[in-house]
Structure 1
């Protein structure tokens, strides 16, 4: 029976160790075991549950090659699948980069607007203070008759 540690699983599924650790903690106890070193491992059935969650196959069933079944073809298949998975991941990350670039652009616009409003408010405040000083410097009757 095949079992894997959190580190091995994180590498196999292409996620961080922390993300895999959080996912493994959510698994039922029936899918967990301890290896000879006392480290928690996920059993083969637990790995199959993770495969369904991540929609990725990491366990390969042992196939006894027939006489005309060449192992290098299996290697090519696996390599092709890995390349396909990596290309899909690259496409997903590229999409995320475009989204993040758009979000940064929007935040830049918001920051620029905020800076403009702050500058306008400061200018208006300074103008109001100047007007107050001018009013204070006028005499009583000048203020009374607004001259």
Structure 2
């Protein structure tokens, strides 16, 4: 708990020591105490009363500091959460990219196999047609031509 002497208060509020001493004498004893050297000091509650009287704040409000610290802590927590979410998303994107690359490779292999199958089918059709033509030619030959293979 913050305590201030008459001299410290007069400097802080910008009034003479004598004016501050007169003001402090009007304060209730609950706001006053003696320090280890026997000098009269004003406690925080008394200082707040003086702040109201002079219209000037000389003490930082601890609740404001605590709220600011909590806000900073929350911001840090949000930053950690956001950073973790970004890392998780980047990992997921990387995994999906790998899957896409694998699927692209598989599609390329299937395309290659399909092309080979089409080529084999075309070759088989050509050979079939050639065989049918040869059979037709054989049918049209006479007995001796077939016998002597002419």
Q: Could you say which TM-score interval applies, normalised by the shorter chain?
A: 0.5 to 0.7
In the TM superposition, 1:30-109 aligns within 5 A as 67=66, 68-69=69-70, 70-109=73-112
Q: Which residue of 1 aligns with 2:137?
A: 134
**CA shift digits 1:67-110 (9 cap, x unpaired):** 54521111111011000000000000001111111111111100
Aligned length: 81
Work out the CA distance in 2 between the residues paired with 1:146 and 1:91. 69
SS of structure 2 residue aligned to 1:128: helix
User: Structure 2 residue aligned with 1:111, among 99, 110, 114?
Assistant: 114
Work out the CA distance in 2 between the residues paired with 1:71 and 1:99. 42
Q: Which residue of 2 aligns with 1:121?
A: 124
Work out the CA distance in 2 between the residues paired with 1:75 and 1:127. 76
Work out the CA distance in 1 between the residues paired with 2:108 and 2:98. 15
The two structures have a TM-score, normalised by structure 2, of 0.52
SS of structure 1 residue aligned to 2:99: helix
Deviation at 1:145, TM superposition (A): 1.1
Deviation at 1:140, TM superposition (A): 0.9
Q: Which residue of 2 aligns with 1:56?
A: none
In structure 1, the gaps of 5 or more residues are: 1-66
The two structures have a TM-score, normalised by structure 1, of 0.53
Aligned alpha-carbon RMSD (Å) = 1.0
In structure 2, the gaps of 5 or more residues are: 1-65
